[in-house]
Structure 1
Amino acid sequence: MQELITPASRIIEELRIIQDNIEVELSEEITQVIDRGNYCSAQMARTGKLLADAKIHRDRKLRGSIISELKKLTSLPASTANKFADALCEDENYLVNWCERVNRSCTHQVEWCRTLISKAKAEMTAFPSGT
Protein backbone atom coordinates (compact mmCIF):
# COMPACT_ATOMS: atom_id res chain seq x y z
CA MET A 1 0.00 0.00 0.00
CA GLN A 2 2.88 2.36 0.79
CA GLU A 3 4.02 2.39 -2.83
CA LEU A 4 0.66 3.87 -3.88
CA ILE A 5 1.11 7.00 -1.76
CA THR A 6 2.42 9.98 -3.71
CA PRO A 7 5.33 11.72 -1.95
CA ALA A 8 4.50 15.21 -0.66
CA SER A 9 7.03 16.84 -3.00
CA ARG A 10 5.33 15.20 -6.00
CA ILE A 11 1.89 16.30 -4.77
CA ILE A 12 3.16 19.89 -4.71
CA GLU A 13 4.58 19.58 -8.24
CA GLU A 14 1.34 18.16 -9.62
CA LEU A 15 -0.82 20.72 -7.86
CA ARG A 16 1.28 23.56 -9.27
CA ILE A 17 0.79 22.25 -12.80
CA ILE A 18 -2.94 21.71 -12.36
CA GLN A 19 -3.35 25.09 -10.65
CA ASP A 20 -1.58 26.84 -13.52
CA ASN A 21 -3.81 25.10 -16.07
CA ILE A 22 -7.10 25.83 -14.34
CA GLU A 23 -6.22 29.49 -13.84
CA VAL A 24 -6.18 30.06 -17.61
CA GLU A 25 -9.29 31.96 -18.64
CA LEU A 26 -11.81 29.85 -20.51
CA SER A 27 -13.22 31.11 -23.80
CA GLU A 28 -16.66 30.17 -25.07
CA GLU A 29 -15.17 28.43 -28.13
CA ILE A 30 -16.91 25.06 -27.85
CA THR A 31 -13.87 22.91 -28.69
CA GLN A 32 -11.86 24.67 -25.97
CA VAL A 33 -14.77 24.22 -23.54
CA ILE A 34 -14.88 20.50 -24.28
CA ASP A 35 -11.10 20.20 -23.93
CA ARG A 36 -11.20 22.04 -20.59
CA GLY A 37 -14.08 19.88 -19.38
CA ASN A 38 -12.17 16.73 -20.29
CA TYR A 39 -9.01 18.03 -18.62
CA CYS A 40 -10.81 19.06 -15.44
CA SER A 41 -12.71 15.78 -15.25
CA ALA A 42 -9.43 13.87 -15.32
CA GLN A 43 -7.89 16.23 -12.77
CA MET A 44 -10.86 15.79 -10.43
CA ALA A 45 -9.95 12.12 -10.15
CA ARG A 46 -6.24 12.84 -9.78
CA THR A 47 -6.68 15.57 -7.17
CA GLY A 48 -9.01 13.29 -5.22
CA LYS A 49 -6.17 10.76 -5.04
CA LEU A 50 -3.66 13.48 -4.16
CA LEU A 51 -6.00 14.64 -1.40
CA ALA A 52 -6.12 11.16 0.10
CA ASP A 53 -2.31 10.97 -0.08
CA ALA A 54 -1.93 14.41 1.52
CA LYS A 55 -4.20 13.32 4.36
CA ILE A 56 -2.02 10.26 4.97
CA HIS A 57 1.06 12.47 5.15
CA ARG A 58 -0.75 14.73 7.62
CA ASP A 59 -1.94 11.79 9.73
CA ARG A 60 1.55 10.34 9.90
CA LYS A 61 3.06 13.68 10.89
CA LEU A 62 0.31 14.22 13.45
CA ARG A 63 0.80 10.77 14.93
CA GLY A 64 4.56 11.30 15.22
CA SER A 65 4.17 14.81 16.60
CA ILE A 66 1.59 13.83 19.19
CA ILE A 67 3.69 10.98 20.49
CA SER A 68 6.68 13.26 20.98
CA GLU A 69 4.56 16.04 22.49
CA LEU A 70 2.16 13.88 24.52
CA LYS A 71 3.18 15.29 27.89
CA LYS A 72 2.48 18.83 26.74
CA LEU A 73 -0.84 17.84 25.17
CA THR A 74 -2.20 16.07 28.26
CA SER A 75 -1.83 19.24 30.32
CA LEU A 76 -3.81 21.35 27.84
CA PRO A 77 -7.59 21.67 27.42
CA ALA A 78 -8.89 19.61 24.48
CA SER A 79 -9.56 22.57 22.18
CA THR A 80 -6.10 23.99 22.82
CA ALA A 81 -4.52 20.56 22.32
CA ASN A 82 -6.27 20.28 18.93
CA LYS A 83 -5.00 23.70 17.87
CA PHE A 84 -1.52 22.76 19.06
CA ALA A 85 -1.66 19.51 17.08
CA ASP A 86 -2.83 21.41 13.98
CA ALA A 87 0.07 23.83 14.37
CA LEU A 88 2.49 20.91 14.44
CA CYS A 89 1.19 19.85 11.01
CA GLU A 90 0.99 23.26 9.37
CA ASP A 91 2.61 22.22 6.07
CA GLU A 92 0.58 19.04 5.84
CA ASN A 93 -2.66 20.91 6.56
CA TYR A 94 -1.78 23.42 3.85
CA LEU A 95 -1.26 20.59 1.37
CA VAL A 96 -4.59 19.00 2.28
CA ASN A 97 -6.37 22.36 1.92
CA TRP A 98 -4.70 23.03 -1.43
CA CYS A 99 -5.70 19.60 -2.75
CA GLU A 100 -9.29 20.22 -1.65
CA ARG A 101 -9.39 23.66 -3.30
CA VAL A 102 -7.91 22.48 -6.61
CA ASN A 103 -10.27 19.51 -6.64
CA ARG A 104 -13.25 21.77 -5.98
CA SER A 105 -12.06 24.25 -8.63
CA CYS A 106 -11.94 21.44 -11.19
CA THR A 107 -15.45 20.41 -10.18
CA HIS A 108 -16.74 23.96 -10.62
CA GLN A 109 -15.02 24.31 -13.97
CA VAL A 110 -16.61 21.08 -15.22
CA GLU A 111 -20.00 22.50 -14.19
CA TRP A 112 -19.21 25.75 -16.03
CA CYS A 113 -18.23 23.76 -19.13
CA ARG A 114 -21.56 21.92 -18.97
CA THR A 115 -23.33 25.26 -18.78
CA LEU A 116 -21.47 26.60 -21.82
CA ILE A 117 -22.13 23.41 -23.79
CA SER A 118 -25.84 23.59 -22.92
CA LYS A 119 -25.88 27.21 -24.03
CA ALA A 120 -24.20 26.29 -27.33
CA LYS A 121 -26.72 23.48 -27.89
CA ALA A 122 -29.64 25.83 -27.21
CA GLU A 123 -28.20 28.38 -29.62
CA MET A 124 -27.75 25.71 -32.30
CA THR A 125 -31.37 24.64 -31.84
CA ALA A 126 -32.71 28.19 -31.85
CA PHE A 127 -30.57 29.33 -34.75
CA PRO A 128 -29.73 26.28 -36.87
CA SER A 129 -27.06 26.93 -39.46
CA GLY A 130 -28.17 26.58 -43.02
CA THR A 131 -31.59 28.02 -42.36
Structure 2
Amino acid sequence: MNLLITPKEQILQELTDIDSFLNTTMSENAEEAVARGNDLAVYVARTGKLLADAKYRLNQTKNTEVIQMLRETAMNAKATAKAVNALVDSVCKEEQYLVDWCERCNRTATHQLSWCVTLISKAKEEMKLGRFVPQNNRQ
Protein backbone atom coordinates (compact mmCIF):
# COMPACT_ATOMS: atom_id res chain seq x y z
CA MET A 1 0.00 0.00 0.00
CA ASN A 2 1.45 3.35 -1.05
CA LEU A 3 0.66 5.85 1.71
CA LEU A 4 1.15 9.58 1.21
CA ILE A 5 1.92 10.46 4.81
CA THR A 6 2.79 14.10 5.44
CA PRO A 7 6.23 14.59 7.02
CA LYS A 8 6.20 15.73 10.65
CA GLU A 9 7.85 19.06 9.84
CA GLN A 10 5.26 19.81 7.15
CA ILE A 11 2.40 18.95 9.54
CA LEU A 12 3.86 21.43 12.00
CA GLN A 13 4.22 24.15 9.34
CA GLU A 14 0.71 23.66 7.95
CA LEU A 15 -0.82 23.68 11.43
CA THR A 16 1.03 26.90 12.20
CA ASP A 17 -0.42 28.53 9.07
CA ILE A 18 -3.94 27.17 9.63
CA ASP A 19 -3.89 28.16 13.29
CA SER A 20 -2.93 31.70 12.32
CA PHE A 21 -5.95 31.86 9.99
CA LEU A 22 -8.26 30.40 12.64
CA ASN A 23 -7.13 32.98 15.19
CA THR A 24 -8.28 35.95 13.13
CA THR A 25 -11.64 37.51 13.90
CA MET A 26 -14.06 38.06 11.06
CA SER A 27 -16.83 40.61 10.80
CA GLU A 28 -20.50 39.74 10.43
CA ASN A 29 -20.41 40.69 6.75
CA ALA A 30 -22.09 37.97 4.64
CA GLU A 31 -19.63 38.31 1.74
CA GLU A 32 -16.72 37.83 4.13
CA ALA A 33 -18.50 34.82 5.66
CA VAL A 34 -18.84 33.23 2.20
CA ALA A 35 -15.16 33.78 1.39
CA ARG A 36 -14.01 32.59 4.82
CA GLY A 37 -16.39 29.63 4.66
CA ASN A 38 -14.78 28.51 1.40
CA ASP A 39 -11.35 28.61 3.05
CA LEU A 40 -12.63 26.88 6.19
CA ALA A 41 -14.14 24.01 4.18
CA VAL A 42 -10.68 23.34 2.73
CA TYR A 43 -9.09 23.60 6.18
CA VAL A 44 -11.59 21.14 7.67
CA ALA A 45 -10.62 18.60 5.02
CA ARG A 46 -6.90 19.31 5.29
CA THR A 47 -6.79 19.14 9.09
CA GLY A 48 -8.66 15.84 8.90
CA LYS A 49 -5.92 14.47 6.65
CA LEU A 50 -3.20 15.98 8.84
CA LEU A 51 -4.85 14.36 11.87
CA ALA A 52 -4.76 10.95 10.21
CA ASP A 53 -1.11 11.50 9.27
CA ALA A 54 -0.20 12.68 12.78
CA LYS A 55 -1.88 9.60 14.28
CA TYR A 56 0.01 7.40 11.82
CA ARG A 57 3.29 9.02 12.90
CA LEU A 58 2.36 8.60 16.59
CA ASN A 59 1.55 4.91 16.11
CA GLN A 60 4.72 4.45 14.07
CA THR A 61 6.81 5.95 16.90
CA LYS A 62 5.03 3.84 19.53
CA ASN A 63 5.87 0.68 17.58
CA THR A 64 9.59 1.25 17.05
CA GLU A 65 12.14 -1.23 18.35
CA VAL A 66 13.36 1.23 20.97
CA ILE A 67 9.87 1.62 22.41
CA GLN A 68 9.34 -2.15 22.35
CA MET A 69 12.63 -2.63 24.22
CA LEU A 70 11.61 0.06 26.72
CA ARG A 71 8.30 -1.74 27.30
CA GLU A 72 9.99 -5.10 27.80
CA THR A 73 12.62 -3.64 30.14
CA ALA A 74 9.98 -1.88 32.22
CA MET A 75 7.82 -5.01 32.39
CA ASN A 76 10.83 -7.12 33.41
CA ALA A 77 11.54 -4.59 36.14
CA LYS A 78 7.97 -5.24 37.38
CA ALA A 79 6.72 -1.78 36.40
CA THR A 80 2.96 -1.42 36.29
CA ALA A 81 1.16 -1.09 32.97
CA LYS A 82 0.34 2.50 33.90
CA ALA A 83 4.02 3.29 34.48
CA VAL A 84 5.01 1.64 31.20
CA ASN A 85 2.38 3.64 29.31
CA ALA A 86 3.56 6.85 30.99
CA LEU A 87 7.11 6.13 29.81
CA VAL A 88 5.95 5.47 26.25
CA ASP A 89 3.78 8.61 26.28
CA SER A 90 6.71 10.72 27.46
CA VAL A 91 8.87 9.45 24.59
CA CYS A 92 6.07 10.22 22.10
CA LYS A 93 5.10 13.64 23.46
CA GLU A 94 5.86 15.56 20.24
CA GLU A 95 3.81 13.20 18.10
CA GLN A 96 0.94 13.35 20.61
CA TYR A 97 1.12 17.15 20.57
CA LEU A 98 0.67 17.18 16.78
CA VAL A 99 -2.32 14.83 17.09
CA ASP A 100 -3.88 17.10 19.73
CA TRP A 101 -3.22 20.25 17.70
CA CYS A 102 -4.69 18.69 14.53
CA GLU A 103 -7.83 17.74 16.45
CA ARG A 104 -8.12 21.26 17.89
CA CYS A 105 -7.66 22.96 14.50
CA ASN A 106 -10.15 20.59 12.88
CA ARG A 107 -12.80 21.27 15.53
CA THR A 108 -12.17 25.01 15.45
CA ALA A 109 -12.45 25.16 11.65
CA THR A 110 -15.66 23.11 11.80
CA HIS A 111 -17.21 25.44 14.41
CA GLN A 112 -16.15 28.53 12.49
CA LEU A 113 -17.65 27.10 9.30
CA SER A 114 -20.94 26.62 11.18
CA TRP A 115 -20.74 30.26 12.29
CA CYS A 116 -20.27 31.35 8.66
CA VAL A 117 -23.37 29.38 7.65
CA THR A 118 -25.29 31.08 10.46
CA LEU A 119 -24.19 34.54 9.30
CA ILE A 120 -25.12 33.78 5.69
CA SER A 121 -28.55 32.50 6.78
CA LYS A 122 -29.05 35.64 8.84
CA ALA A 123 -28.17 37.85 5.85
CA LYS A 124 -30.60 35.93 3.62
CA GLU A 125 -33.37 36.35 6.16
CA GLU A 126 -32.66 40.07 6.48
CA MET A 127 -32.81 40.41 2.68
CA LYS A 128 -36.20 38.64 2.62
CA LEU A 129 -37.57 40.87 5.36
CA GLY A 130 -36.27 43.96 3.56
CA ARG A 131 -38.22 43.05 0.40
CA PHE A 132 -41.49 42.34 2.13
CA VAL A 133 -42.29 45.67 3.75
CA PRO A 134 -46.04 45.84 4.53
CA GLN A 135 -48.00 48.02 2.04
CA ASN A 136 -50.18 49.74 4.61
CA ASN A 137 -47.18 51.40 6.32
CA ARG A 138 -46.66 53.74 3.32
CA GLN A 139 -47.43 57.37 3.79
Give the Å deviation of 1:73. Answer: 3.1
Give the distance between the partners of 1:15 and 1:2, measured in 2 at CA: 24
Structure 1: which 4+ aligned runs deviate by more than 6 Å?
none
Q: Which residue of 1 aligns with 2:79?
A: 76
Give the Å deviation of 1:85. Answer: 1.4
Give the Å deviation of 1:67. Answer: 1.4
Decide whether the 8 Å contact of 2:44 with 2:109 is kept in 1.
yes
**Is residue 120 of structure 1 aligned with residue 112 of structure 2?**
no
Structure having the higher Rg: 2
Q: What TM-score do the two structures reach when normalised by structure 2?
A: 0.86
**Is residue 88 of structure 1 aligned with residue 91 of structure 2?**
yes
Q: Which residue of 2 aligns with 1:110?
A: 113
Q: Which residue of 2 aligns with 1:35?
A: 35
Give the Å deviation of 1:118. Answer: 1.1
Amino acid at match of 1:104: R
Question: Structure 1, unaligned stretches of length 5 or more?
Answer: none
Give the Å deviation of 1:72. Answer: 3.1
Give the distance between the partners of 2:86 and 2:2, measured in 1 at CA: 28
Identity of aligned residues (%): 41
Q: What TM-score do the two structures reach when normalised by structure 1?
A: 0.91
Question: Structure 2, unaligned stretches of length 5 or more?
Answer: 135-139
Cα RMSD for the two superposed structures: 1.8
Decide whether the 8 Å contact of 2:30 with 2:120 is kept in 1.
yes
Give the distance between the partners of 1:2 and 1:8, measured in 2 at CA: 18
Give the distance between the partners of 1:88 and 1:19, measured in 2 at CA: 25
Q: Secondary structure at the match of 2:28?
A: coil
Give the distance between the partners of 1:28 and 1:60, measured in 2 at CA: 44
Give the distance between the partners of 2:44 and 2:91, measured in 1 at CA: 29
Q: Secondary structure at the match of 1:127?
A: helix
Give the Å deviation of 1:84. Answer: 1.8
